[in-house]
Every structure is written in C-alpha cells, then in structure tokens.
Structure 1
Amino acid sequence: MLIMPMLQQLIATPSISSVNPALDQGNRAVIELLAGWLEDLGFTVDIMPLKDPRKANLIATLGSGPGGLVLAGHTDTVPCDEARWTHNPFKLLEKDQRIYGLGTCDMKGFFPLIIEAARQFSRHTLQQPLIVLATADEESSMSGALALAAAGKPRARYALIGEPTGMKPINMHKGIMVEKLIIEGRSGHSSDPTLGRNAMETMHSAMGELLSLRNELREKHHSPMFNVGHPTMNLGCIHGGNNPNRICGHCELGFEIRVLPGMDTVALQQQINDRILPFRERDGVTISLEHYCVPAFDSGAGSTLVKICESLTNYTSESVSFATEAPYLKDLGMDVVVLGPGNVEQAHQPDEYLAIDRIQPTVDFLVQLIGRCCL
C-alpha cells in the first residue's frame, strides 16, 4: 500500500490558498504529483491551467463512454499558524493512531485513498469512466470550480466530493456570501471633527444595519434540515484608522452570510446595498462592496447516489453548514454527494489530523462505489 508515501509527498508540498496575496500560493506542484501517479495507473491526464500560472485543475480519466463517476477534491489548504502547531505542519507525523499534517483531513488525504482504490481497477475494462478531479482555490476564491463550470467539464453521471464528513453522506449544505465593505472618508486632526469624514463612524452605522438584517433573516428563513436551521451572519474582521488622535479616513469590514438552499442571494445582495449605500450621502464618504457567492447545495430527493452511499456506509444522509464545490458539479448535470473520511472538527485547526482507522474503510467504500458506478 502506497498511501503513506503519497500522503507524505502531498503534505510536504505547500499549496495554501488565501484571499491575502501575501499568503497565497500555487497548487501546480501538487497537481503534477497527482498527474504522475494517475498516469502510471493508465489514466488519461488533462491539466487545466488557470489565470494564475501557479494554479491548475486536474481531470484524469480511466475508461471512456457516457456516465461514470467523478471522485473529486481540492488540492489547496487554508493558511496555518505554525507557532500553534506542536510539530511541522508540512511534515507527516504518525502518532497515537493519527496522521498529522496540514491537509491530512481537509483534504489532501483523500487523494491517496482514491488512487489506492483506483489501482484495483487499472486492469479492468470499465463500462463507465472513472474520473479523478483535483481543483484549485476551494478555500479562497473557488476559481478552480468556476473554471470547470465555464469549460463545461468534466461530464459524468455521478460525483463524490471527499470533504471531511466522518464518512456520512451529505446531500445538502448552505451557501456562503463573502462580503468586503470598504468605506473611504477623509483623515484629519482629531481636535476638530469638521476637518475630516470619519470612516469608522460610518462603519458603526453600517454594522448596526447588518446586525438588524441578520435578525430579520433569522426570523424569516428556517429549515429543519440543518442543526443551525436559519441563515447566519458573521462579522469576521475589521481594520480602520492608524492613530487615536487622527480622524479615521479608511475602514474595511469582512463579513459572511450562510444562506439556506432556496434563498435568493441576488435579492439579498440588493438588500445589503439598499441598507448601506445611503450612508454615502449622509456622511460624505465613499462606500464600496466587494463580494462573491458559493451557492447552496441540495442533491434532490431522487438522488440515486445518495441511496448508494447510504447503503454502502449504513449512514443516513445529512446536511452541513459549510460550503463545497458540490453546486458547481451539480450544475454540470451530475448527481452529487459530499462524503469523506475526515471530520470537519479537525479541519482548519492546528494539529490537523486524519485518524488511521478511517483509511482502510474509506478505500473499501471507494472500491465498492467504483464497482457500482463504473463496472
């Protein structure tokens, strides 16, 4: 079994993606590792370059024909604070029946398990193709998934995304609207407020409107399918001003909204604009909003793949509040389920790990799934 050597190389190859350019890295080296391993198994490999030359998607196909199964995952990781780790996050460590390293859980650790399962079919004649999909920038801009959507590929009947779900099939998740509110005022000496336009004071008013909107969304929208059954809004980070005796001339707020399936995100974006933009005239400031949205996902009541995964895992499908690339693959016409060996509680945390006792059951599950969908 070559799982550990492959995982060791993947963890040792940093591929952090971040909205902060100072932290953002490429994933091309990870893609090339996967491409080489899959080519050795007889896969036909297609590397899709992205606008950033450091980044790419990978579509590797074994067999041909209509239908088939996509096994998908993202190759990037979140940034990490190495000082909070008890060991090197880029060096695989096996300890206490766990495998530690950045990406072991979310979600580089899924790829060696895919390859180990696919190895058992490398000499079979598949009736339907097996496709391994590896993407870029899921943790930041979704640029990899957006490029796939624009290209209209890959095409298959089924798709499984190996995000950390504790091997439970996920048939529904919330969407996420990521927002950046920028207010430009005018700095000046704090001894005379008329000398400037305080961007932080306008931000205070804007935050009050956002919190009121949060309460309204909570009252208006509810779904019993989620543990947190209403939309959530998080005011995540704020930066403004540079000295107590200077009028704040610039202030930025980063916030996000987790929306339920069926909510109209275009209308919600307009609500945000309508509440905040009027402060421009009132306060004599400039206001801009930057945003992107990952849609909510619902596999649908008639999903065949949900039923297959439930029968193979003995788990009933569930919903989660985190977002994935599932809606983009569904829009390509695939029946999609999110299911992987890690636990989301270990993701995005110092000392991220994958439990060793999850490895062989996941390989066994993937072998059965490939058999059901491709033979």
Structure 2
Amino acid sequence: MLKRLIEIPSVSSVSPSHDMGNRPLIDELAGWCEAGGFRVEVRPLEGVADKANLVASLGKGPGGLVLAGHTDTVPCDPHLWSQDPFQGVFRDDRLYGLGSCDMKSFLALALEAAAGFDPKDFRHPLVILATADEESSMRGARAIAEAGQPLGRQAVIGEPTNLRPVRMHKGILMEGIRVTGQAGHSSDPSLGNSALEGMHRVMGEVLAWRDELQARHRNPQFQVAVPTLNLGHIHGGDNPNRICGQCELHIDLRPLPGMEPDALRQTLTERVDKALQDTGLDHEVFRLIPGVPPMETPADSELVRVTEELTGHAAEAVAFGTEGPFLRQMDMDVVILGPGDIRQAHQPDEYLALDRIEPMLKILRGLIQRFCIHA
C-alpha cells in the first residue's frame, strides 16, 4: 500500500499549471477500505469534479477515533530527485517518494493497524478520514467542518512529527497590501503620487505592529515563542524615471493559539489606514489564502495523555499549520502524530525511514484499543 499510494500522483497547488485531482487516489483507498469491512463514503468537493474526501467507518456506536490524513502533496522538481518521485523506491532502509513522509504513508499504516481488529469488539467506531487540498487551500478539511456531520470524539492527524505528539500549532495568515498612487515623470514629483513611498510608510507601521504583538504575546512551549510576521514579497513600479503608480506587499503572519485571525486582519487594515492617512493614496488589504487558525488541544485531555503514554514523549508545539483547527471546530480533541520527519517534507528525495513503521503501527493499535474497544 505504501508504494502504491506514492505511485498515484495527487499534487495540489495554488498554481493551476501544477494542480491536479486526487480522485484516483481516493478511489484506491476506498477500495482498500471496503475490502477491510469499512463503510465507505466518498464526498466530492463542490464545484471540483476530480477532488474528493473519503470517510470510512468501522464499527458502530457514539464517539470514536478518527485517523486523518491528507491525500495531496506539494509539487516537485523531478530533475532534482535521485529517483522518480512517483515510483516509491525502497533503498537504504528508507522509502523514497513524493508523499512518503508528508503524509501518504500514514493512511496506509492506519489501514494496516485496523486490519488486526475485529469490529465486533468495537464499542466506538474507527474512522479513516482522507482529505483533499491540504497543501493548497485546506478545501477538503473546510468541507468536512462545514458539513457538520459528527465523525468522532478524538482525532489523530498523521503529519510528520517524528513519532512525537503535538497538541498546539501556530496559525497561518498570508495577506496582501496594495497601494495605488499616480504615475508621472520623475523629474517633477508634483506630477504623480508615489505608491512606493506610501508602501514605505506601510512597512514601517506593520513592523511597529509586529513589535507590539511580540511584546504582548508569548508562549515558551514554541521553539519561536512569539508570533512572527514576515515581509515576504514586494513589487512596485516599472522604471527608475517614472513615479511608482502601484506597489504591492505580501506578508506572512503566524499567530499563537489564543490570537484571533479575524481580529488580526482588522487591526492590520486599521494600521495600513493609519499609515496612509492624508496621503491621497488608494489602498486595500486582501487575503492571499483563506488562512489557517491556530490550534490548541488542552494538555489534560484524554487524547493528549494517552498519546504521551504511548510515545513516551510530552506533547509539543510546532510552527507549521495542519487541518487540526477544522476538526477542533467539530468538537474533537486533536493531536498531530505521525512517523515522518518534517525536515524531509517538501524537498527532493523525500523519504520515510522504515524503522518508523513498526513504532507507528504500535501507537495506532494502542489508540484503537483505548478509544474504540476499552473507552
């Protein structure tokens, strides 16, 4: 199963030239789940014919355990790989291939772990959730949350965490700021109104806001304990002898748990308004992506305690985002826990170390025992 999932391309991207559907992979998973006795539901994404989520349930009853993973991968540069990224190559005690680490392997391991149980013994169901478009828009997880249909009480998402439980992560906001002025000949400033000079004011105001956020918000459980705000991309004007008519800045903001994304967007708009007041420059603040909220599952929740016991590690916090916040919206406790290493993700020669497979299976079987049989 591990090799087969890698062999089915399922790239998702904000660039239409790279984006592709995940339906062939979903159909493959659906077949395996049906063969394993699961009740299978394929949920196509609205308005997208070749993308879908999979919800597969084993056993009956209230609550239950959800083992969740996304089916898509980021794009890749095949010429930079030592082997075909879509072949699934076993070499040097590793499985190489796009998605081996992030995170197709988890879905195969979840099915393998489930195969050792008789669903007649389940007091609560086991659910395999496979989603679309995590690497681009989170559209699959958003659709699951918007549907509002209960899936379970506990959820484990198999993102690469080195077999360590994660109960908190930062959010992701990517915002654009566009300033529009008036182009003119640079020999006479009165002939125009420089958007670039206006953006200089905006950048100063945004960086001052960053300092305030970092002074006000801090969580020592994160390696970078403060919210981060990166000025990542800027473009303005077209020639040195023309007053810049338009300038655009893109920023990345990573809020800590407890910081509300909509409130941050509102404050950003207010700070841009302040920077450009009385300049005569038009401006707008807009979303580059829908964004991902921060996530936090209480440290004293049963799921956190059980995953800490099974792994031997205290639950941690990470800076990358996941589908966890959308499952939290459905009243589930969520832990991020998978066999891969985030340092191997999103780069050439991505791999999963084979010595991670048995420990992951042991953890998954322990979770199924605890939440489907003995709970």
Aligned mate of 2:44, from 35, 42, 49? 49
Aligned to 1:34: 29
Structure 1 unaligned residues grouped into runs of 5+: 1-5
Q: CA deviation at 1:9?
A: 2.5
User: Could you say what secondary structure the match of 1:66 adopts?
Assistant: coil
Query: For residues 252 and 18 of structure 1, do their structure 2 counterparts lie closer, same or farther at Cα, with a shift above 3 Å needed?
Result: farther
CA–CA distance in 2 between the matches of 1:198 and 1:8?
56
Q: Is the 8 A contact 1:164 1:344 kept in 2?
A: yes
Contact in 2 for aligned 1:93/1:100 (Cα 8 Å): yes
1:294 aligns with 2:286: no
- Structure 2 residue corresponding to 1:265, chosen from 254, 261, 264: 261
Does structure 1 retain, via aligned residues, the 8 Å contact 2:141–2:326? yes
1:303 alignment counterpart: 301
Are 1:148 and 1:154, in contact at CA under 8 Å, matched by a contact in 2?
A: no
Q: 134-143 or 175-184, which moves further after superposition?
A: 175-184
Contact 1:280 1:287 in 2 (8 A): no
The question of 1:128 aligning with 2:124 is answered: yes
Q: Is the contact made by 1:41 and 1:122 (CA closer than 8 Å) also made in structure 2?
A: no
The separation in 2 between residues aligned to 1:211 and 1:7, in whole angstroms, is 45
TM-superposition CA deviations, 1:95-128 (whole Å, max 9, x none): 2222111111111121111111111125644221
Q: What is the CA–CA distance in structure 2 between the aligned matches of 1:236 and 1:281, rounded to whole Å? A: 27
Secondary structure of the corresponding residue to residue 294 of structure 1: coil
Residue of structure 2 in register with 1:3 after alignment: none
Pairing partner for 1:99 from 95, 119, 127: 95
What is the CA–CA distance in structure 1 between the aligned matches of 2:24 and 2:223, rounded to whole Å?
Answer: 38
CA distance in 2, matches of 1:311, 1:171: 14
Identity over aligned pairs, percent: 53
Deviations 1:160-208 (Å, cap 9, x if unpaired)?
1101110111111112222122334444555555554443333332222
CA offsets 1:243-289 (integer angstroms, 9 cap, x no match)? 44554444332221111111233322222101113527514334232
Question: 1:282 corresponds to which letter in structure 2?
Answer: T
Corresponding residue number in structure 1 for 2:335: 337
Q: What is the CA–CA distance in structure 2 between the aligned matches of 1:215 and 1:26, rounded to whole Å?
A: 42
1:90 lines up with 2:101 in the alignment: no
**In the TM superposition, what is the alpha-carbon distance from 1:313 to its structure 2 partner?**
1.2
1:284 match:
281
Deviations 1:340-371 (A, max 9, x none): 00111111222211111001211122112111
Cross-structure match for 2:198: 202
Could you tell me which of 309, 314, 317 is aligned with 1:316?
A: 314
For 1:103, give the aligned amino acid: G
Partner residue in 1 for 2:3: 8
Deviations 1:277-313 (A, max 9, x none): 3527514334232253312111113210111111111
Q: Which residue of structure 1 aligns with residue 72 of structure 2?
A: 76
* TM-score, L = length of structure 1: 0.91
What TM-score do the two structures reach when normalised by structure 2? 0.91
Partner of 1:149: 145
Classify the secondary structure of the residue corresponding to 2:361: helix
Worse-superposed segment, 61-70 or 280-289: 280-289
* Structure 1 equivalent of residue 178 of structure 2: 182
Give the total of aligned pairs: 370
Q: Write the distance in 1 (CA, Å) between the matches of 2:194 and 2:87.
A: 47
- Cα distance in structure 2, aligned partners of 1:29 and 1:242: 45
Across the aligned residues of Structure 1 and Structure 2, the Cα RMSD in angstroms comes to 2.1
Contact 1:59 1:154 in 2 (8 A): no
Verify the 8 A CA contact 2:167 2:299 in the aligned structure 1.
Answer: no
Q: Is the 8 A contact 1:197 1:284 kept in 2?
A: yes
- Alignment CA distance shift 1:238-1:265 (3 Å): same
Between stretches 76-85 and 27-36, larger displacement belongs to 76-85
Partner of 1:251: 247
